[in-house]
Amino acid sequence: MGWLKKVVKDEAEEVPVAPEGMPHFIDLGDYSKKRVSDRSMGIEIKLAEIDSYEDIRGLSNYVYDGNILILDFSSIMNDDLTLKRIITELKRLVEDIDGDMAGISKNLLIVAPKRVVIDRKRIHRGSR
């Protein structure tokens, strides 16, 4: 927590101090608004929900543009046919751009463009 306070203090001119005994909260909304204007043409991470097979075309454009896409497919978890079609199409996309794809959890999938490798090993506390 001390590191976060130092980073925020270095970024902002004045850091508000919470009254004694009250927890100190940092408003990350202001931080994200400031960062949007500072961005250069770098990689973005997009979070999207996918509800149907037709959503793939629009969402895959983000990956073709060189961004990372995190897909939440919880709304179609019970539709095996649609889920299989979407995964097949995403595999084709990844092969086409020489990218990478991996499951994050039961309902999240990450799709990365070329030159971005997804490490599939989980980091556990105390391990390197």
pLDDT for the residue 125:
82
Domains of the chain: total: 2
Q: Are residues 69 and 31 in the same domain?
A: no
pLDDT for the residue 42:
82
DSSP 76: G
H helix and E strand count, the chain: 4, 4
Q: Are residues 65 and 27 in the same domain?
A: no
Residue 85, SS3? helix
Report yes or no on 78 lying in a domain: yes
pLDDT for the residue 1:
47
Q: What is the pTM of this model?
A: 0.66
Question: pLDDT tens digits for the chain (128 residues)?
Answer: 444 454 455 555 555 555 666 666 666 666 665 555 555 568 899 999 999 999 999 999 999 999 999 999 999 999 999 999 999 999 999 999 999 999 999 999 999 999 999 998 888 887 66
Distance of CA 99 to the CA centre of its chain: 16
H/E run at residue 102: strand 100-103
Let me know: does 109 contact 102? Beta carbons within 8 Å: yes
